[in-house]
Every structure is written in structure tokens, then in C-alpha cells.
Amino acid sequence: MLHFRRRFRRPFPQLIPRPIRHVAVAALCLVLAACATQTVTDSNEPEYLHCRDDERWQVQEHIYFGTHTPQGFVSKAEWAAFVEKVITPKFPHGLTVLAGSGQWQGASGNIVREPSYVLSLIYPYSRDKDLAIAEIIREYKRQFQQQVVLRVRSGACVSFL
């Protein structure tokens, strides 16, 4: 029996007593669990964003559409037709379009400037709405030969006063 214990003993002495190790491991688990969780309520409102009683948590989207194409630029009439035929049917309850002047840096390092449109949407989250936005972006890229469309999504507390 003595031979067995010597052979399977730990090579290094225990520097921290066993009860203290157990407490330290339990404390570490609690800290990691607290950091890893983000509770979402039934209304899809994250815990870190507390809306007032007169507000509702909703998704806010800003989608940036560049207008430079291989044939020139997307005209105002082409944009208006795109909004009417593609965007409005998917978001009939409301949307805002802002005309802008955007710029970005190409792979060559040159700054490219172009007129742009920003579509602003605010809506209660649903998978259908998320898929509708992806479809809008896909159709814009196809129709106007765009490489990318920028989509920025965030949460917002919304009220109509």
C-alpha cells in the first residue's frame, strides 16, 4: 500500500488549502455566470435598457444606400420607384428616408464620395421584419449593382407623444 501512495501522489505540494480552493472556484463561477448572461424580458427589452412606462422597446435600423453604379448614379426617380415598390410594401406603417452625401475608402486607398440615401425604420422586433430588411438590401444590390449596403441596428425606447 505504501508503494501505491508514493507512486500516485501529486508531484507538487498543495499551496492553497482545499476549503479555500472550493470557495475560490465557487466565487469564480458566480462571477463568470453574472458576466455571461444578458436577460431579455418577454417584450424583448434587454435588461440594460430600461424604458419608461410610457415607452416601448423597439428596433431602430439605419440602412445606408450608396447611389454610384457602373452606369452612373441611381436617379431620384429610380430611388422613388424602389421605395414605392420594394420598401413600402414591407414597412407600410412608416419609414423615413434621408438624402445624404457619403464617402468611403476603396481598396486602393482612395476616398470615394457619392450621394446616398439613409432609410430609417423603427419597429417591434420580429423575424419577418428582419428577413424583410435582408430582402430589401439584397434587391437593392441586385437592381443597382452595389457591392455592399451598410446596415446599423440598435434598440430604442419609443413613445408617441
pLDDT tens series, the chain, 161 aa: 555 555 555 554 555 555 554 445 454 444 444 544 444 444 565 556 688 899 999 999 999 999 999 899 999 999 999 999 999 999 999 999 999 999 988 889 999 899 999 999 999 999 999 999 999 999 999 999 998 999 999 999 999 88
Name the burial class of residue 157, with classes exposed (0-12), middle (13-18) and buried (19+) by CB atoms within 10 angstroms of its CB.
Answer: middle
The domain limits of the chain are 56-158
- Supply the CATH classification number for the domain 56-158: 3.30.70.120
Closest to 154 (Cα-Cα) out of 123, 117, 116, 118: 123
Cα 29 to Cα 21: distance, rounded to the nearest angstrom: 12
Predicted TM-score of the model (pTM)? 0.69
